[in-house]
Amino acid sequence: MSEKTILLAIVLQLFIALFSSFLMVGLTSMYDPNSLAGYSHFRYDIGYAGNASPFLEDLGNSNAFRVHRVDLSTGVELLRERRLFAVVWVPDTAPDATDPVKITLYSLKSDIMGAVVNTKLKDVFLKYEDELRQARIVRITEQPVPVAVPPQAGSAGYYEFVYGLLIPLLVFLPGILSAALVIDLITEEYQHETLETLVSTPVTVAEVVWGKVLVCTILVPVQAGAWLLLLSLNRIPVRDPALILLHVTVASLLLILLAALVALHYRERTAAQFVFSTALVVIMLFVLAIPDNPLNIIARLAVGTAGTTAWIALAAAGVAALLLGWYLQRYAQNAQRKLHTG
């Protein structure tokens, strides 16, 4: 509780978790406005102008609307004042007439509420379209070919957001925070002048640094595993969670080792955090330009389509971690010699 960095990291992750629900609704609406319809159980006021028709009965039978008979000019004015959510105008064309029935819809432009209402109206329009086809079936001279359309398995926008953005973001965030944490843990030893006390014991600088690296690395699979568990409790299936945790841990270890090197070199918290943050942005821009980047691999692991690419990336990250760990060991040994000579 006395470590402000740890508390700040926990608060930040909780904020992102709480904010993710809002992001999910907002971003999925950009992909697919139909996804918003399931969140709303409100009855919307809409205006009906024109002649009475079976379409008016279909609107009245829908639990999503309260229908008000208005003339067209009054309905459009009420829509402009946002006292109505939509206005429909129906001509006097009979359902079994030879001419097409041209219904005009007036709705809110570039508005989330308008997207929800349009989605719910779509179901009523489709129902009325089927009724018109039944009323005009006697004019069909050829039997149409039946097409078996498979049922929709879910919203594509929701799928892309959850597996392409939300899961990689949640599992990689602990690694980024742990890298920032290890900088604080190392630089505070210098700033509080406690490192000299530690190395006066049989403990070496390398052992101090590796202890901090180890603790920050352990936090990554613990926190990422907690996110995956919470996702499963929210009925979001994740394939290969063990492989996801393994990839995230190795990739996070690279960031933590790099952060530890920066902290040993600068020995001052503000400078080390600034340099590491700048380097992290450059590294992320470079890595994300690669087709098989870590975020893409995590997304593919979550849906079970990673293949051999994931193992190649894991092996490469493991080799890079070994090399960086060897360099960190040498750098820590040099830092201890400087302490003794200083």
How many domains are there within the chain? 2
Mean pLDDT of the chain: 83
Residue range 8-51, pLDDT digits in tens: 767 776 776 666 666 666 665 555 555 555 555 678 899 999 88
Is 105 found in the same domain as 176? no
Is 291 found in the same domain as 269? yes
Let me know: does 309 contact 296? Beta carbons within 8 Å.
Answer: no
Task: Say how far apart CA 248 and CA 255 lie, in whole Å.
Answer: 11
Is 173 found in the same domain as 132? no
CATH of the domain at 108: 3.40.190
- Residue 322 — pLDDT band, cuts 50, 70, 90? very high
Distances (CA, A) of 298 to 160, 228, 243: 13, 12, 9
Among residues 139, 164, 180, the one where a domain terminates is 139
Q: Which has the minimum average pLDDT: 22-26, 224-228, 325-329, 332-336?
A: 22-26
Give me the mean pLDDT over the 236-254 stretch: 91
pLDDT at site 17: 64
Let me know: does 299 contact 167? Beta carbons within 8 Å.
Answer: yes
Tokens of 273: 């955090």
- Residue 261 — pLDDT band, cuts 50, 70, 90? very high
Q: Which residue has better confidence, 341 or 45?
A: 45
Among residues 139, 174, 199, the one where a domain terminates is 139
Percent of the chain surpassing pLDDT 90: 23
Asked whether the whole model's pTM tops 0.75, one would answer no
Residue range 128-149, pLDDT digits in tens: 998 888 888 887 777 767 777 6
pLDDT at 330 over 80: yes
pLDDT at site 30: 58
- Residue 110 — pLDDT band, cuts 50, 70, 90? low
pLDDT at site 134: 86
Is 204 found in the same domain as 327? yes
pLDDT at 177 over 60: yes
